[in-house]
């Protein structure tokens, strides 16, 4: 077992440990402790002594105390390990064998509590706006003006979005699109998941023009009562290519936000089958995603909510849950962090199935925002992280159309400037890190000068 | 229903796709129609019944491909 051992060595040793200008090793303090394997990587720590007031109880901590780091008062902590088999004996014998040992304490593993589904919101959308440096972006003219931002989801309720944003925004009904059989009007769908996504895109790109594509409302033959089919997304992407091609080539800017995916291999062909979707770049949907990227669109997908720490109960892939287009090499796969910058426990981890290095990066989620699911419910899931990142991409596109910065170049820029959350660069929890708008701005300035 | 693909000239129609694949109207999702997947490559997609997918001319088309349900990623349940 790992233990912390408190010792009271000679005053000169205590003074050396307490002096930040000097370096003391564990062996200087506690060499030769019987049965203890000292941890040389743990620098000894001076612990102040609680000193009671004159006439106070020398054993009580429930009184006003002064804390002394004087050499004759303080003690020192070192870290070590005792064999589990003889822990009880060692704990009893150590103070008896070594009078300088004043205590042996457990050193349990400590872990942060990751945010999970059902947890209360962590911060609100104003915090997200601050973290995304929205004022700095707007100061450089990056507010999404003139940029088309397509939300493929359950449809948008524009009145709800405007009410909770506290302002109006632009939704282009003419360039929006319904799957066959869906009869609602763009911007007039029931408040649901798509409304949340729309709200979240507008945090970083307040002047973007939203396109409403309610693909998840489709009820095609072969579908169920609760979801659309991948073929509806194929048709939606085909529509978006026509949107892109009507834009002048020199100013093309279309961002496509996708907070959905396939939870289960049950409806898919087996991996290795030519008709498979999850692992097959030749599936028609994966082909049309690649063709939209080649035509100049930025495609973003949520990484999914199948993180190992608290996965969504619908997750049925036994491993590698970032599947199909959500793991496509030509999209940005977006994982989720809370406003404290910690990965939310449900954010899917890589490797991805089409491309191993997934997710690409993380953006903010689990904050109080659209209130689409109730006043006390967060905008959550990688479903929220994806449109937050899509808004940031749309903000960049205000001044940097695809003719000036291709989708591939923009993905590279976002990965390269992300705030790395590990010591090894890319990792399968955070990807290349958390989106860093100030890093993006600096990189764009350098690119402008070049 | 399954997805299948077919290679046709630019501006192709669903009727041309059905003729190319040798499929009657009752085996095709006409409401879905013919979708341009990669027009630069002349690649189009359509939805057909499983029986139709089995019977179509394999030289003329690609697939069948899976058409799984898709669901929103949130809120986490």
Residues B2-51 pLDDT 10s = 999 999 999 999 999 999 999 999 999 999 999 999 988 999 999 999 99
Q: Is the pLDDT of residue A225 over 60?
A: no
Q: Is the pLDDT of residue A426 over 60?
A: yes
Residue A273: inside a domain, yes or no?
Answer: yes
Please check whether residues A153 and A276 belong to one and the same domain. yes
Is residue A42 within 8 A of residue A26, CB to CB? The reply is yes
Single residue among A106, A141, A170 that ends a domain in this structure: A106
Bridge partners of A45, per DSSP, are A77
Q: A44 lies in which domain range?
A: 2-106
Å from A446 to nearest chain B CA?
35
Please check whether residues A64 and A91 belong to one and the same domain. yes
Average pLDDT over residues A193-211: 98
Is residue A413 within 8 A of residue A160, CB to CB? The reply is no
Q: Is the pLDDT of residue A374 over 70?
A: yes
Q: Is the pLDDT of residue A222 over 60?
A: no
Please check whether residues A102 and A147 belong to one and the same domain. no
Å from B72 to nearest chain A CA?
4
Q: What is d(CA A145, CA A37) in angstroms, rounded to the nearest whole number?
A: 63
Radius of gyration of chain B (CA): 14
Please check whether residues A82 and A145 belong to one and the same domain. no
Residue A93: inside a domain, yes or no?
Answer: yes
The pLDDT, as a whole number, for residue B47 is: 95
Chain A interface, best mutation among B3, B5, B27, B68, by max A CB count within 10 A: B68
In this predicted structure, which of A177-186, A302-311, A319-328, A417-426 has the lowest mean pLDDT? A417-426
| Per-residue tokens: A301 | 């997908």
| Higher per-residue confidence, B62 vs A228 | B62
Please check whether residues A129 and A243 belong to one and the same domain. yes
Q: Mean pLDDT for chain A?
A: 93
Q: Is the pLDDT of residue A155 over 80?
A: yes
Average pLDDT over residues A285-307: 97
The pLDDT, as a whole number, for residue A423 is: 63
Residue A113: inside a domain, yes or no?
Answer: no
Give buried/exposed letters for A13-42 (b at 16+ CB in 10 A, else e).
bbbbbbeeeeebbbeebbeebebbebbeee
In this predicted structure, which of A56-65, A377-386, A413-422 has the lowest mean pLDDT? A56-65
**Per the residue annotation, which of A153, A212, A279, A429 is the catalytic one?**
A153
Please check whether residues A143 and A45 belong to one and the same domain. no
A188 band by pLDDT with thresholds 50, 70 and 90: very high
Is residue A340 within 8 A of residue A110, CB to CB? The reply is no
Residue A112: inside a domain, yes or no?
Answer: no
The pLDDT, as a whole number, for residue A31 is: 85
- Percent of chain A at pLDDT > 90 equals 75
Please check whether residues A31 and A133 belong to one and the same domain. no
| Closest C-alpha among A254, A272, A277, A235 to residue A397 | A254
The pLDDT, as a whole number, for residue A112 is: 59
Partner residue opposite A154 with nearest CB, options B2, B33, B72? B72
Is residue A330 within 8 A of residue A293, CB to CB? The reply is yes
Please check whether residues A287 and A407 belong to one and the same domain. yes
A109 band by pLDDT with thresholds 50, 70 and 90: low
The pLDDT, as a whole number, for residue A224 is: 46
Q: Do the Cβ atoms of A220 and B1 come within 8 Å?
A: yes
| Closest C-alpha among A287, A292, A178, A184 to residue A240 | A292
Q: What is the CATH number of the domain that holds A239?
A: 3.40.50.200
- The count of domains in chain A is 2
A110 band by pLDDT with thresholds 50, 70 and 90: low
Please check whether residues A141 and A87 belong to one and the same domain. no
Please check whether residues A297 and A195 belong to one and the same domain. yes
The pLDDT, as a whole number, for residue A226 is: 45
Average pLDDT over residues A360-386: 97
**Per the residue annotation, which of A160, A193, A283, A366 is the catalytic one?**
A193
Average pLDDT over residues A97-106: 88
The pLDDT, as a whole number, for residue A173 is: 98
Is residue A43 within 8 A of residue A20, CB to CB? The reply is no
| Higher per-residue confidence, A113 vs A376 | A376
Q: Does B16 touch chain A (CB under 8 A)?
A: no
CB within 8 Å of A347: residues ≥ 6 apart: A303, A304, A305, A307, A335, A336, A337, A359, A362, A365, A382, A385, A429
Average pLDDT over residues A3-12: 91
Please check whether residues A85 and A223 belong to one and the same domain. no
């Amino acid at each position: 077992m790992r233990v912390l051992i408190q010792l009271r060595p000679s005053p000169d040793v205590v003074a050396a440990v307490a002096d930040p200008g000097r370096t003391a090793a564990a062996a200087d303090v506690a060499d030769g402790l019987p049965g203890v394997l000292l941890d040389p990587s743990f620098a000894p720590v001076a612990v102040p002594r609680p000193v009671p007031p004159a006439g106070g109880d020398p054993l009580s901590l429930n009184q006003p105390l002064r804390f002394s780091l004087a050499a004759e008062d303080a003690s020192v902590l070192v870290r070590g390990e005792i064999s589990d088999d003889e822990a009880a004996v060692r704990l009893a014998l150590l103070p008896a064998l070594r009078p300088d040992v004043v205590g042996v304490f457990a050193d349990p593993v400590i872990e942060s509590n990751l945010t999970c589904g059902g947890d209360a919101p962590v911060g609100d959308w104003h915090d997200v706006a601050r973290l995304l440096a929205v004022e700095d972006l707007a100061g450089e003219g990056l507010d999404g003006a003139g940029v088309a931002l397509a939300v493929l989801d359950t449809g948008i309720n524009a009145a709800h979005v405007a009410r909770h944003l506290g302002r109006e925004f632009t939704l282009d009904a003419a360039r929006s699109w319904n799957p066959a059989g869906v009869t609602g009007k763009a911007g007039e769908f029931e408040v649901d998941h798509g409304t949340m996504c729309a709200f979240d895109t507008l945090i970083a790109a307040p002047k973007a023009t939203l396109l409403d594509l309610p693909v998840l409302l489709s009820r095609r033959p072969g579908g169920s009562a609760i979801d659309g089919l991948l073929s509806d997304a194929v048709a939606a992407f085909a529509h978006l290519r026509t949107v892109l091609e009507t834009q002048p080539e020199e100013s093309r800017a279309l961002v496509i936000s996708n907070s959905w995916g396939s939870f289960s291999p049950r409806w898919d062909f087996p991996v290795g089958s030519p008709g498979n979707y999850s692992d097959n770049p030749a599936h028609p949907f994966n082909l049309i995603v690649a063709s939209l990227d080649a035509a100049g669109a930025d495609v973003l997908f949520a990484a999914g909510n199948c993180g190992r720490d608290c996965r969504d109960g619908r997750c049925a892939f036994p491993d590698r849950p970032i599947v199909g287009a959500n793991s496509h090499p030509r999209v940005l796969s977006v994982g989720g962090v809370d406003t404290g910058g910690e990965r939310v426990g449900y954010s899917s981890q890589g490797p991805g199935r089409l491309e191993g290095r997934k997710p690409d990066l993380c953006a903010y989620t689990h904050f109080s925002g659209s209130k689409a699911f109730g006043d006390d419910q967060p905008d959550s899931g990688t479903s929220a992280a994806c449109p937050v990142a899509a808004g940031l991409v749309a903000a960049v596109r205000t001044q940097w159309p695809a003719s000036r910065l291709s989708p591939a170049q923009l993905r590279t820029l976002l990965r390269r400037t992300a705030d790395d959350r590990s010591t090894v660069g890319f990792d399968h929890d955070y990807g290349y890190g958390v989106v860093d708008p100030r890093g993006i701005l600096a990189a764009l300035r350098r690119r402008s000068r070049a | 229903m399954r997805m299948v693909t077919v290679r046709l000239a630019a501006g192709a129609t669903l009727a041309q796709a059905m003729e190319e694949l040798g499929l009657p109207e009752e085996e095709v999702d006409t409401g879905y129609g013919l979708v341009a997947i990669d027009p630069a490559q002349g690649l189009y997609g359509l939805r057909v019944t499983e029986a139709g997918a089995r019977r179509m001319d394999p030289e003329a088309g690609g697939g069948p491909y899976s058409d799984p349900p898709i669901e929103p990623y949130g809120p986490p349940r």
